[in-house]
Amino acid sequence: MDGRAALALPPDAFRLAAAREAIASLGLVVSEAEGIIWHMLDFRLTDHPKARATAYRKNGEQLSAEEKRALGLRSNAYLSRRAFSEITSKGMASPLEAHEKVLLRASFSLFRYLVIQNPSVIDGHEVNYLFDVLNIACPVCKPLNGTTISGNDAPMFALPGCECETANFGYRAYVDWLANIE
């Protein structure tokens, strides 16, 4: 989804789209958990996804110490029965991180959406966006680092072929203040 399509969505609809994309791409939690991911995906961005996911895992009846040990977890780890029921077999490789990784990926999409919502023109100057790549090991993302793109063309979700688990790239506003000087 590019910036034009994303900005056409109401904010809550984009949050849901981000939750669905993260769940489908990572496959760590079941699709029925989209409402939980949507709810944890907060526009205020006050808490790190790890803190939100941990709070979610703490809430409710916990697995027994024996059940946790059978999963390879410490007996004092927080994992509610509800959170456990939402984890897929792929997510069981690291059950304490399943919700966190999905939420983190959705959060990066939300960050991009919020940045692109900024004005497209400032005092007669067009605003473009610089790719800000956090994982320069990814062969798709690395060449984009520092390049500019218009808000309408900026992808909101992971790029095709991107190897970054959480699609951890962002945008920074960029204005060429000298563009209109003759």
Per-residue pLDDT of the chain (182 residues; tens, 9 = 90+): 777 788 888 889 999 999 999 999 999 999 999 999 999 998 777 899 999 999 999 999 999 999 999 999 999 999 999 999 999 999 999 999 999 999 999 999 999 998 888 666 667 777 889 999 988 888 999 899 989 998 888 899 988 888 889 988 999 888 877 766 66
Residue 32 lies in a domain: yes
Could you give the 3-state DSSP secondary structure of residue 21? helix
Task: Tally the C-alpha atoms within 13 A of residue 90's C-alpha that lie toward its C-beta.
Answer: 11
Do 44 and 102 fall into the same domain? yes
- Residue that is last in its domain, among 63, 85, 109: 109
Asked whether residue 29 falls in the same domain as residue 91, the answer is yes
Q: Based on the fold, state whether residues 68 and 126 are members of the same structural domain.
A: no
131 φ, ψ to 5°? -70, 130
On whether residue 182 sits in a domain, the answer given is no
How many separate domains does the chain show?
2
Q: Are residues 63 and 149 in the same domain?
A: no
Q: At what angle do helices 11-26 and 98-116 cross, to 10 degrees?
A: 140
Domain that residue 156 falls in: 119-175
Q: Are residues 127 and 102 in the same domain?
A: no
- Residues 78, 155 within the same domain: no
The whole-angstrom separation of Cα 107 and Cα 49 is 8
| pLDDT at residue 134, rounded to an integer | 87
| pLDDT of 6 | 83
- Based on the fold, state whether residues 30 and 105 are members of the same structural domain: yes
Q: Examine the domain organization and report whether 8 and 89 are in the same domain.
A: yes
**pTM for the complete prediction?**
0.89
Dihedral pair phi/psi, residue 140, rounded to 5°: -85, -45
For residues 149 and 94, state if they share a domain: no
Last residue within a domain, chosen from 74, 109, 144: 109
Same domain? 92 vs 141: no
Classify residue 180: in a domain, yes or no: no
Say if residue 67 is in the same domain as residue 125.
Answer: no
Pair (24, 94) in one structural domain: yes
Q: Please check whether residue 72 lies inside any domain of the structure.
A: yes
Cβ-contact 32, 102 below 8 angstroms: no
Q: Which residue has the tokens 């959480």?
A: 166
